[in-house]
Amino acid sequence: MENERVLYPCYFNAALERRQGRRVPLGLAQKGVTMQDLERALKKTGLRFRVETGPHPAYWYRRDGRAVVAWTESKEALLRRVAGALEQKK
């Protein structure tokens, strides 16, 4: 899986604490991020990605899905870029 990074919707969920799986600062997080929201944000950024049905390891009982993104830089940079593209929930 070289040059690919896996992103889960819970990484961007403001309702979660860091220890529960959120990976971005609260200022960049959104409440109730779904896989569809994540897909829209990735399309906005113009990154190549594919969607898979696998669950986050900590939430194995949920089938939220995940995105595998072609990315060579740090995962932190990717997370911030995608979080910036997430639309505000109404």
28-47: per-residue pLDDT in tens? 999 989 999 999 999 999 99
Query: Own/partner pairs for 60-66, CB < 8 Å, 24+ apart?
Result: 64/8, 64/9, 64/10, 64/34, 64/35, 65/9, 65/35, 66/6, 66/7, 66/8, 66/35
Q: Domains of the chain (ranges plus CATH)?
A: 4-85 (3.30.56.30)
- Residue 70 pairs with which residues in a beta bridge? 4
Percent of the chain with pLDDT over 90: 78
Percent of the chain with pLDDT over 70: 96
Quick: pLDDT tens for 3-17. Answer: 999 999 999 999 999
Mean pLDDT for the chain overall: 91
19: pLDDT strictly greater than 90: yes
Q: Model's pTM, two decimal places?
A: 0.89
